């Protein structure tokens, strides 16, 4: 029932009307505004690409830092074992 109501309220030539309205609005704007909007769109696309690339590199560095932290913990445990071994020898 809701679909029937929606189909009745939307005219069949709605895409054509929408296209005509947008063309009219764009043609009524000064060319500088239209050109500025195009440039702004390109800048936004470039910024989104930049964010995707930056996120990729941040994930890579976070993984590297995680591996380094694991290696440091392993080295710390081994040094503790060596230090405890020397202390035991000194006590004897």
Mean pLDDT of 2-26: 71
> 20 vs 67, which has greater pLDDT?
67
What lies within 8 Å, CB to CB, of 34 at 6+ separation is 26
How many CB atoms sit inside 10 A of residue 92's CB? 4
Domain total of the chain: 1
What lies within 8 Å, CB to CB, of 26 at 6+ separation is 34
Instruction: Tally the C-alpha atoms within 13 A of residue 54's C-alpha that lie toward its C-beta.
Output: 6
Distance CA 74, CA 64 (A): 15
pLDDT tens, residue by residue, 32-80 = 888 998 999 999 999 999 999 999 999 999 999 999 999 999 999 999 8
Is the pLDDT at 11 greater than 80? The verdict is no
Residue 12: domain span: 2-91
Query: Where residue 31 falls among pLDDT bands split at 50, 70, 90?
Result: confident
Distance CA 12, CA 78 (A): 77
């Amino acid at each position: 029932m809701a679909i029937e109501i929606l189909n009745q309220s939307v005219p069949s030539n709605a895409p054509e009307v929408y296209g005509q309205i947008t063309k009219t609005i764009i043609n009524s704007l000064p060319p500088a505004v239209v050109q500025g909007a195009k440039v702004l769109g390109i800048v936004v696309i470039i910024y989104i690409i930049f964010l995707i690339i930056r996120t990729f590199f941040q994930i890579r560095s976070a993984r590297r830092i995680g591996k380094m932290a694991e290696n440091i913990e392993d080295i710390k445990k081994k040094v503790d074992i060596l230090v405890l071994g020397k202390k035991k020898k000194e006590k004897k």
